Each structure stands twice: as C-alpha cells, then as structure tokens.
Amino acid sequence: MKPSVLLIYTGGTIGMKTDAATGVLVPFDFSGIYEEFPSLRRLNVDIDVLTLRPVDSSNITPDDWTRLARIIAERYDRHDGFVVLHGTDTMSYSASALSFMLQNLSKPVVFTGSQIPIGVLRTDGRENLITAIEIAGAKRPDGSPEVPETSLYFQNRLFRANRTTKRSAEELNAFRSYNYPPLAEVGVSIAYNRAAIAPAGNGAPEIFTDMSDRVAIVKLFPGMPRRSLTTMLTQPGIDGIILETYGAGNAPTEEWFTGAVRDAVDAGRIILNVTQCLDGCVSMNIYETGLALQRAGVLCGYDITTEAAVAKMMYVLGRESSRQGRIELLKRPICGEFTI
C-alpha cells in the first residue's frame, strides 16, 4: 500500500502563482495539486490536502500553531506523515513550536516553503514540496518511518526543526542548522543521517496547546541605555525572558547591569541566556562577563537558537506553573533543541 501524506497549507510564498490574465501573484489552490503537478502522481505516495487560514507567515500566531497541532493529532492515525507548507519568514519559529507541542512522535512532520512562488517557472518550491512529501512518506526496510520527528526541509537538506534559522532573504539556500547536523542530504538519492534522527516515540503523540504569551526577547548592544534594559526586564505581564548576549554568553559586568538582571530574577522572572552568534554555545563559566550572569540567576541556553528558545519558553511557561518546575524543564533538552 502507498504511504499516505497529509499536506497542510498555511500560506506563504510557496502558495502563489502568476495569474495568466493579470500577471500578478495570486494564491494557488492546493486542492488542485495533481492538475497543477501531474508528475506528483508518479510519487509513490497518496496525498490529501488541507488548507489552514492561509497567511503571510508574519501573521502566524500561536493560535495557528494550536490549530496545526490539533489537525495533526486528530488525523495522526490516518496518515503516515505530514507536510506543512509555511511562509519562510517565521517558519523556524512555527516548526520549533510544533516540536514542543507534538512530542512522542512516531511519524514525520516536515515543514517546507519556498523563496520563489510555486507558480513561477524558476521556483524552488516544486523541489522542496516533492522532496518533503517523499520524506514524509519514507520508510525504513523494517517499515518504520525514516524521520519520526518535526523537521524542516529546504534546498536539498532536511534539518531538525528546532535547530533551524532563516539565514537569507535572497538565496534559495535560505535555512541552516548551525549547531546540529542535517537529518538528511538530498542529491541523486536521499541520504538519511540515522545517527542524528530522533528515535520514534511509543504510542500516540503527546499534544500540548497551552502556549504562554508571557515571553520577551532582550537583545544586548553596546551602549544599551540603562533605562531601556530596566524597562524591558521589568515590563508587566512577562514571566520568561530570552536574553540575547554576546559570544559565549557574555554581558556587561557593571553593577547597574547585573543588578538589573538580578532584580528581574528576584522578582520571579526566568531569564535564559542565548548567544547572538549563529554558531556555537553559551558557556557562562569561561569569562567573568558570563559568570556574573550565572551568579545573578540566569539560566544557560547552550547552543539553542533564539527561535527555539522563544518556542520552548512559551511551552514551559504554559506547561508548568511552579518556578522550580519551569527551571528544570529549561535546563534539559526536551526534543533535541540543544546539546549540553
């Protein structure tokens, strides 16, 4: 029997084509996918299509993530894999969020999109779409799915979703996973890196949809005024802060700075140290400038991306109400989002 893949279209550039009459870009109706791409019939996969409030991904919200997670959970038994078509701009945030919202996966959930609309001749969307579908339906010789986790496919590489970053607004090679190897590389054939792929879960997926919005990002820069740091660290309605620091997790050691951070921690906020570098890891005990943050009660984000840190903070604050419980969840990787 052919594997069955559910294609969920959420919007973005991939869903556009040029209107023959007017020459402008208009949304493409994915329910007509076989008419548009008859060659898809040659893929050994049955494709069902579902459209979810198609939006430019700048307008994606956690409510959309909830809908997406529910659709996948509800149809989990009917399909062998899932492909989510998403705008590229915030795809790493959504894909990271889904990796926390759908745990214990034993089937693939593959995000993809494109830099050029699918209806434009030179599109990168056709290859991204076809290969993502193929990966979502791919099985190992024993019949188990090749990639039973949330992933992101773009330009010949499959990545762990919560390790990705959109790195280019121009190039077709738009995504990277700087701190974790690709789960698969695609050339003439698809080479799966089984050592890097998460083991399949047991039984039904665990779905979690109560993401908290009490999260902020504070990005440091030299000369940051004291008043703006203090305002951001003490703003009301925020329980978790992603602090984007320099290099290996460093920040100013001046007393006003560490004092403001300590005050925020003492006031109950959880602060996670994430580096502004794309590549490499936070280690707060190399320099005095990192140690000062550790002493102030800031948690180490290791090599987590900002996208995954935001998604994880939303998940952790929604899942756990006790401060200690939240800290415990942030200290360890939940679904491969960082390496200690």
Min. distance of Cβ 138 from ligand ASP in angstroms? 25
Pick the closer one to ligand ASP by CB: 7 or 284: 7
13 contacts ligand ASP (rule: CB under 6 A): yes
Q: Which of residues 186-215 bind ligand ASP (CB under 6 A)?
A: none
d(CA 163, CA 322): 27
Pick the closer one to ligand ASP by CB: 110 or 248: 110
d(CA 132, CA 221): 39
171 contacts ligand ASP (rule: CB under 6 A): no
Pick the closer one to ligand ASP by CB: 87 or 240: 87
Q: Which stretch binds ligand ASP (CB under 6 A): 7-15, 101-109, 290-298, 300-308?
A: 7-15
Min. distance of Cβ 182 from ligand ASP in angstroms? 20
Min. distance of Cβ 117 from ligand ASP in angstroms? 9
Pick the closer one to ligand ASP by CB: 17 or 319: 17
d(CA 173, CA 161): 16
CA distances from 135 to 87, 120, 193, 257 (A): 19, 24, 13, 48
Number of residues that bind ligand ASP (CB under 6 A): 10
125 contacts ligand ASP (rule: CB under 6 A): no
Q: Which of 62, 65, 72, 88 binds ligand ASP (CB under 6 A)?
A: 88
- Per-residue DSSP letters for 151-202? EEEETTEEEEGGG-EE--SS-S--EE-TTS--SEEESSSEEE-TTTSPPP-S
Instruction: Kindly state the tokens that stand for 155.
Output: 């330009």
117 contacts ligand ASP (rule: CB under 6 A): no
CA distances from 241 to 177, 284, 289, 301 (A): 23, 17, 19, 12
Three-state SS for 102? Answer: strand
57 contacts ligand ASP (rule: CB under 6 A): yes
Identity at 90, one-letter amino acid code? T
Q: Which of 62, 113, 137, 290 binds ligand ASP (CB under 6 A)?
A: 113
- Can 13 be counted among the known catalytic residues? yes
Pick the closer one to ligand ASP by CB: 88 or 289: 88
Three-state SS for 213? Answer: coil
Farthest-apart Cα atoms in the chain, separation: 66
∠ CA 92-122-178, nearest 5°, is 30
The residue annotated as part of the active site, out of 13, 90, 275, 305, is: 13
Residue 296 is given by DSSP the state T
Q: Which stretch binds ligand ASP (CB under 6 A): 87-95, 139-147, 208-216, 324-332?
A: 87-95
Query: What's the distance, CA 129 to chain centroid?
Result: 18
Q: Which stretch binds ligand ASP (CB under 6 A): 81-89, 206-214, 224-232, 306-314?
A: 81-89
Binding interface with ligand ASP (CB under 6 A)? 11-13, 56-57, 87-89, 113, 115
> Residues with catalytic annotation?
13
